[in-house]
């Protein structure tokens, strides 16, 4: 894509905070764009020499392709961050997450030796984005809504999905398309000409396809016939040579995405390591009455602002993870049986900078053992979360926790990593697993007061929540 960096300040302008921010953004954007362009010109084997020769070409190509895409996202996010707003803080946080995902992809596929010679290393981009986060945090207002498309309430789309949809997907050929990917391609073709939401009705059926909604398909609505009736399924995994990022059965980057009544699953199984059912990097995304099924790394709340209402999420290790600002409200989080010798962790939040406005908030929900774990009660330990980033932030509020949750509540990632800088909070939870008297004693763990908990309510944490209300789904804005 063509990018248009913000214009340079006039020659006479002093390095005020705004001037410094503009100069830093311009330099960071230029480096990101050069790296993206260079990675498109080079082949992995021509830039990583001996390290590449020692690595399976298929794996190196997979990691390289991820990084190319993630650097493209970084350029786009930086380009959109010219003004110091809360929305820019979200975009800069997402840029930081994209850069980390690039490097992690090399590590996940055993390619760490090839990383130093790749064009993605040595750019100091992560440090520059961290500096931008700090400067923007000092200048930005605490909340902005980010803007959303005016539209009819979603209930109207739901009640007349078959007749009101722009396109219909049906396995049996009774719709406009047989696959979801074809319907999304139609939405992409129409995107430039439309000023309203594009509605895709996906009829009951099992759709075995890996689907991606790219950033140039915004304001998409997908409506299914209900959980376990409309199912999107896949089986990619780190175990078979995908990165975590590219293993997703369903991924969405187009902003303003709304979906109801669909199951997203990854059937790779616990023996195949990370295997994502859905990866979400859409801003102002709403998932309503959906289901996510997998084992390790089921739901990747990758970045941006997201809201989940009345959804079911199944998994084992880190099965809600990522670095979005995500609230799961009135959801069921079901812990499945892992492999022998493993432990379960419901969340793994990846915030790695103190100025990122991200976190995973579970509010008014249920955390409980799934049927397969209940059948072997006491054989496996399960925890609320562990820190994937040094400033990991996860909060459980007014949530029912059954006895599958270990009394310690939380699990370290590795040694003391993040224990002094993370923020883990609990507020008025209930059930056999909610007793805080035997919880970890880390500096970053908090039994929260009402004032502290209010910071993580929808109204405060998710840009005021007006975009959720406009989507027409139920929402509790406060506690």
- For tokens 């289901």, the residue is 291
The confidence score (pLDDT) of residue 46 equals 45
Average pLDDT over residues 194-199: 84
C-alpha 351/C-alpha 147 separation (Å) is 24
Strands 285-288 vs 317-322: parallel, antiparallel or unpaired: unpaired
- For tokens 């075995």, the residue is 208
Instruction: For 75-126, write each residue's pLDDT tens digit.
Output: 999 999 998 888 999 999 999 999 999 999 999 999 998 999 899 987 789 9
Q: Is 174 exposed, middle or buried (0-12, 13-18, 19+ CB in 10 A)?
A: exposed
Phi first, then psi, for residue 186 (nearest 5°) are: -65, -40
Q: Indicate the Cα dihedral angle 349, 354, 356, 359, nearest 10°.
A: 30
Strand partners, 410: 385
Confidence of residue 459 (pLDDT cuts 50, 70, 90): very high
Task: Return the percentage of the chain with pLDDT > 90, whole number.
Answer: 81
The confidence score (pLDDT) of residue 157 equals 52
- For tokens 């350029």, the residue is 75
The confidence score (pLDDT) of residue 181 equals 98
Instruction: For 309-330, write each residue's pLDDT tens digit.
Output: 999 999 999 999 999 999 999 9
Q: Is 312 a catalytic residue?
A: no
**Cβ neighbours of residue 159 closer than 8 Å, sequence gap 6 or more:** none
The confidence score (pLDDT) of residue 12 equals 35
Token pair recorded at residue 8: 């340079």
C-alpha 434/C-alpha 456 separation (Å) is 19
State yes or no: pLDDT of 50 exceeds 60. Answer: no
Contact 305, 325 (CB under 8 A): yes
Over the chain, what is the mean pLDDT? 91
Distances (CA, A) of 14 to 9, 11, 85, 139, 262: 9, 8, 21, 17, 54
The confidence score (pLDDT) of residue 10 equals 42
The confidence score (pLDDT) of residue 11 equals 44
Average pLDDT over residues 328-337: 99
Confidence of residue 134 (pLDDT cuts 50, 70, 90): very high
Is the CA virtual torsion 339, 342, 346, 348 positive or negative?
negative
State yes or no: pLDDT of 148 exceeds 60. Answer: no
C-alpha 126/C-alpha 61 separation (Å) is 23
The confidence score (pLDDT) of residue 201 equals 98
Contact 351, 323 (CB under 8 A): yes
Contact 302, 322 (CB under 8 A): yes
- Supply the DSSP symbol for 251: E
Token pair recorded at residue 172: 């049996």
> What is the separation of C-alpha 144 from the centre of its chain, rounded to a whole number of angstroms?
20
Is the CA virtual torsion 319, 211, 119, 23 positive or negative?
negative
Q: Is 390 exposed, middle or buried (0-12, 13-18, 19+ CB in 10 A)?
A: middle
Q: Which of 166, 312, 318, 406 is an active site residue?
A: 318
Task: Report the 10 Å Cβ neighbour count for 438.
Answer: 10
């Amino acid at each position: 894509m063509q990018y248009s960096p913000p214009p340079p300040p006039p020659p006479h302008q002093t390095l005020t905070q705004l001037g410094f921010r503009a100069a830093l953004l311009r330099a960071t954007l230029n480096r990101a764009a050069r790296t993206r362009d260079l990675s498109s010109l080079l082949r992995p084997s021509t830039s990583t020499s001996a390290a590449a020769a020692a690595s399976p070409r298929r794996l190196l190509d997979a990691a390289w392709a991820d990084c190319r895409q993630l650097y493209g996202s970084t350029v786009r996010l930086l380009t959109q961050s010219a003004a110091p707003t809360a929305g820019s803080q979200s975009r800069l946080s997402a840029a930081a997450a994209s850069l980390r995902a690039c490097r992690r992809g090399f590590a996940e596929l055993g390619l760490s030796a090839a990383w130093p010679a790749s064009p993605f290393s040595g750019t100091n981009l992560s440090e520059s984005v961290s500096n931008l986060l700090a400067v923007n945090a000092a200048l930005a207002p605490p909340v902005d809504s980010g803007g959303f498309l005016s539209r009819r309430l979603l209930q109207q789309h739901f009640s007349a999905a078959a007749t009101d949809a722009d396109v219909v997907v049906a396995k049996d050929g009774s719709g406009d398309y047989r696959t979801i990917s074809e319907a999304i391609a139609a939405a992409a073709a129409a995107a430039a000409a439309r000023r309203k939401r594009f509605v895709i009705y996906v009829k009951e059926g099992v759709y075995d396809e890996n689907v991606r909604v790219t950033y140039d398909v915004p304001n998409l609505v997908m409506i299914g016939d209900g959980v376990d009736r409309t199912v999107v399924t896949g089986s990619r995994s780190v175990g078979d040579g995908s990165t975590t990022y590219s293993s997703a059965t369903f991924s969405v980057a187009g902003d303003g995405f709304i979906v109801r009544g669909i199951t997203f699953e990854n059937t790779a199984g616990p023996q195949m390591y990370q295997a994502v059912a859905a990866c979400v990097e859409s801003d102002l995304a709403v998932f309503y009455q959906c289901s996510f099924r997998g084992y390790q790394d089921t739901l990747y709340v990758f970045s941006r602002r997201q809201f989940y209402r009345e959804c079911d999420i199944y998994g084992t290790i880190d099965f809600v993870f990522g670095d979005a600002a995500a609230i799961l409200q009135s959801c069921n989080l079901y812990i499945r049986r892992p492999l022998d010798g493993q432990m379960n962790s419901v969340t793994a939040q990846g915030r790695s900078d103190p100025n990122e406005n991200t976190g995973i908030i579970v509010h008014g929900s249920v955390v409980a053992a799934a049927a397969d774990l209940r059948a072997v009660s006491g054989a496996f330990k399960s925890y609320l979360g562990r820190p994937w980033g040094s400033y990991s932030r996860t909060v459980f509020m007014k949530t029912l926790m059954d006895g599958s949750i270990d009394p310690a509540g939380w699990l370290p990632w590795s040694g003391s990593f993040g224990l002094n800088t993370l923020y883990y909070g609990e507020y008025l939870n209930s059930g056999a697993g909610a007793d805080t008297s035997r919880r970890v004693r880390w500096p970053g763990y908090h039994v929260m007061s009402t004032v502290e908990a209010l910071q993580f309510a929808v109204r405060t944490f998710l840009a005021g929540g007006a975009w959720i209300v406009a989507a027409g789904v139920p929402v509790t804005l406060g506690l």
